[in-house]
Amino acid sequence: MPVLRPMVPADVDALLGFYRSLPPWIVHWFEPWPGVDRGRIEAHLTEAAAGEAVSLGLCDDAGAVLGHVFILAFCGPRPVFGIGLREEWVGKGWGRRMAQAVLCAADARELPLVTLTVFKDNARARHLYESLGFAVTGGHSARSPSDSLAMERCRPAVAAGGGMRASTLSLLRGGAAVRIPWAADLTYWMAGEKAKGRADPAWDDEEGFVAFHQGLGTMPYYDYGKFAAA
């Protein structure tokens, strides 16, 4: 069974292999980096590790990337969503699961909106995006005039008083939370990745550990046997 997990700098070869494996009909609809090369993939994974993007890969037991979903420019005014799957995994429900996971990360980071563009002849993708809350905002030209649509998804409204950060600060000050703060315990998953030789060495220091969680939009869950002074 494939596993959806964060892409880290050590995954550069696997992710590059994914993009080079896509057939022309998928590239027609999904080409986030024309002429993708190792340097472009390395730059993307560096941005994700720094919390400037979120990048998730659908991976098999051997570590091969079967699908990639991301949101770029987290720190900009108009973050950009993208998703692609290998041919044999299209139409099996994984696209929806991947999209939901990355949008949850966007909501946890309290991004006000996420944007995308979709070719007009990609009816399957447009239907998926609309079911996830994206709405058409106008026309777009990708490879030819007006061949695509621009879409946006606004962050779901939360109770007045702020989001996750405000809720956490309120609790620390003895007040009430307006949202449930979420700290993900990913230490078991990290241990599994280390056992498979796929762990990012940066996870072993506190700065890298925190940056990894920031990229996913969750607070870090501290192992009391590690970073004990934090």
Q: From residue 19, how far is each of 39, 78, 172, 189 by CA, in Å? A: 13, 24, 45, 25
| Separation between Cα atoms, residue 140 and residue 63, nearest integer Å | 36
Return the number of other C-beta atoms located less than 10 Å from residue 136's C-beta: 14
Q: What is the pLDDT of residues 77-106, one digit of tens each?
A: 899 999 999 999 998 889 999 999 898 888
| HEC-encoded secondary structure of the chain | CCEEEECCHHHHHHHHHHHHHCCHHHHHHCCCCCCCCHHHHHHHHHHHHCCCCEEEEEECCCCCEEEEEEEECCCCCCCEEEEEECHHHCCCCHHHHHHHHHHHHHHHCCCCEEEEEEECCCHHHHHHHHHCCCEEEEEECCCCCCCEEEEEEECCCCCCCCCHHHHHHHHHCCCCCCCCCCEECCHHHHHHHHHCCCCCHHHHCHHHHHHHHHHHCCEECCCCCCCCCC
Q: Determine how β-strand 3-6 pairs with β-strand 54-59.
A: antiparallel
Digit-by-digit pLDDT tens for the chain (230 residues) are: 888 999 999 999 999 999 999 999 999 889 888 889 999 999 999 999 988 999 999 999 898 999 999 999 888 889 999 999 999 999 888 999 999 989 888 887 888 899 999 999 999 999 999 999 999 999 999 889 999 999 999 877 544 445 556 666 655 666 555 555 566 677 777 888 788 887 777 778 777 777 777 666 667 776 655 654 44
**CB-CB contact of 92 with 58 (8 Å):** no
